[in-house]
Amino acid sequence: MLTIFRGAKIYTMDKENTVFSNADLWVKDGKIIKAGTNTDIPVDATIEDASRLVITPGLIDIHTHVGIWGEIDEHVNDACEYSEPFTPLMDAIDGININHFSFQLARKGGVTTVQTGTGSANPIGGVWSILKTGGSSLEEMLIVERSGLKGALGENPKNVFGQSYNKTPYTRMGVAKIIRNGFQKAMELSSGERDSHMERRTDLSPFIEVLEGKMPLHLHCHRADDIATAIRIAKEFQISLSLEHCTEGHLMLDAIKDCGASVTLGPFMLPSTKYETRNSTPAAPKMFHDAGIPFAIMTDHPFIPIHYLILCAAEAVKYGLDEMAALQSITSEAARLVGIQDRVGSIEAGKDADFVLWSHHPFDSRSTVVATYINGTKAYDGMQR
């Protein structure tokens, strides 16, 4: 059935960042058919009045623990395997609860796609996944089952294991050594041995996937020296790197630009509960944008609740980031950085019909989510909240 949303202002977030006023969005069978003005309406189409509303693509948060961080308490959740520091076989899909309230919060905030998985207690924690925030089963929701190997540098792993559990790693050097060991052992394998490890799904299999370019290494890093360590490790093993948080990245923009890593910035608006986050600033996105470094903005849910993703981007605008660049960072650019731009992130013909109806421009403090659609189906109705 063809449904046409009539009369909206549409931010397509396509390559030209086209914006249509008093435009129509055509949706059929879970896909976007087209968006534009002066369209001839078929007699059999269902018309939805979207006049005076704003439509954007569904928002995308590529660093969360949605559905896997069951509680706020660090030790009452499924996001970190505390039994040992090296746990590469912890797969997000085995811990995600699709009925957890965080998915409801995401839809309420217009977030239709998330990357989620293990937290940052472990130097090597496990494998992340990318999924829609609505659907009847995990299999239906999944976009990318194995989207990256998650690791962490800095205070988190050394404090959890060195201080709390009194075992390695005690230092930043020890954390880096654990990460390197996995890649070094995988590098030493012959082609046949790699096949065997992949078939048996050993601890080295995720490292082989990263080395072979099947997924990136995501490294939690706040302090500038931790970011530098992450870059060194990526160069040593010639692997794709995503810098997660990158809190002091604005202090070393040239090095980050030169290394070509992906960057996910945030969360902002948090107290500096750790020494290494004292230089956190919502002005960082503007600095990255001015330096020509692509980035996404994230919430790190539950540390900033997922439905406040739009506020995180708006905060960056307050500190000078261009509005369109801010919206890109949680739609089209976020999708591109994790390789799902062929399906989501913009309103274009053939893409999944994931979009949000807003009462005002999404960065307007008065704006509310009128409705969130995933695969063409209304997943949140703001009129019934």
Q: What is the pLDDT of residue 273?
A: 78
38 and 137 inside one domain? no
Q: Is 343 among the domain residues?
A: no
C-alpha span between 205 and 211 (Å, rounded): 10
Backbone angles phi, psi at 249, to 5 degrees: -60, -30
Q: Please indicate, yes or no, whether residues 88 and 101 belong to a single structural domain of this protein.
A: yes
DSSP 8-class letter at 337: H
Q: How many domains does the chain have?
A: 2
Residue 140 lies in a domain: yes
Same domain, 171 and 148: yes
Would 357 be classed as within a structural domain? yes
Same domain, 41 and 85: no
My answer on whether 139 and 241 are in the same domain is: yes
DSSP code string of 176-199: HHHHHHHHHHHHTS-HHHHHHHHH
Amino acid at residue number 279: N
344 part of a folded domain:
no
Evaluate whether 69 touches 78 at the Cβ level (below 8 Å).
Answer: yes
- Give residue 274's pLDDT: 84
- Note whether 270 and 315 are same-domain residues: yes
Residue 149 lies in domain: 59-337
Same domain, 131 and 265: yes
Q: What is the CATH number of the domain that holds 355?
A: 2.30.40.10
| 342 in a structural domain | no
Q: Per residue in 352-384, is it b (16+ CB within 10 Å) or e — as a string?
A: bbbbbbbeeebbeeebebbbbbbbbeebbebee
CA–CA gap between residue 216 and residue 317 (Å, rounded): 29
Q: What is the CATH number of the domain that holds 261?
A: 3.20.20.140
The predicted structure's pLDDT at residue 110: 98
- Rounded to 5 degrees, what are φ and ψ at 379? -105, -15
Q: Verify that 276 and 140 share a domain, yes or no.
A: yes
DSSP string, 235-258: HHHT--EEEEE-TTGGG-HHHHHH
**Per-residue model confidence (pLDDT) at position 269:** 84
Confirm if 311 and 111 have CB atoms less than 8 A apart. Answer: no
Residue of 89, 79, 181 whose CA lies nearest to 121: 79
Query: Quick one: 17 and 116 in the same domain?
Result: no
284 touches 317 (CB < 8 A): no
pLDDT for 183 equals 98
Indicate if 312 and 171 belong to the same structural domain: yes
Same domain, 239 and 191: yes
> pLDDT at position 74, please?
59
Can you list the residues of the chain whose pLDDT is less than 70?
71-76, 385
Give yes or no: residues 28 and 159 share one domain: no
| Separation of alpha carbons 31 and 350, rounded Å | 6
In this structure, are residues 99 and 68 in contact, taking their beta carbons and an 8 Å threshold?
no
